[in-house]
Amino acid sequence: MAVMQVTTREFTRKFPNFRRAALAGKEVRVRDREGNAFVFRATETKPVSLAEAMGDMIGSVQSGRSKKTLAGYGRD
């Protein structure tokens, strides 16, 4: 992974370029005036499945049905 080091001023001025670099797999290290370092890189995002999204809801509504299924949720 390639690393690029820039200042905060340069980072804000040329953000689209650094964004493209991060999406290409490069890591951008930004330093501010006080010497603090920050790392900017792209992360992988995966789509959330319906089962994962509904997982926290199972059991939160009392439907009178088994809480291990989604039966009873939605239209009755």
pLDDT tens profile 42-55: 887 777 777 777 77
Asked if 5 contacts 31 with a C-beta cutoff of 8 angstroms, the reply is: yes
* Residue, of 1 and 38, whose pLDDT is higher: 38
Classify residue 6: in a domain, yes or no: yes
Classify residue 76: in a domain, yes or no: no
Domain count within the chain: 1
Classify residue 50: in a domain, yes or no: yes
Classify residue 75: in a domain, yes or no: no
pLDDT of residue 10: 92
Asked if 27 contacts 50 with a C-beta cutoff of 8 angstroms, the reply is: no
pLDDT of residue 62: 65
Classify residue 74: in a domain, yes or no: no
Asked if 11 contacts 41 with a C-beta cutoff of 8 angstroms, the reply is: no
Report CA 24 to chain centroid distance, whole Å. 17
Classify residue 44: in a domain, yes or no: yes
pTM over 0.85: no
Range of the domain at 32: 1-69
- The burial of 45, by beta-carbon neighbours within 10 Å (0-12 exposed, 13-18 middle, 19 or more buried), is given as exposed
Q: How is residue 23 written in tokens?
A: 């999406």
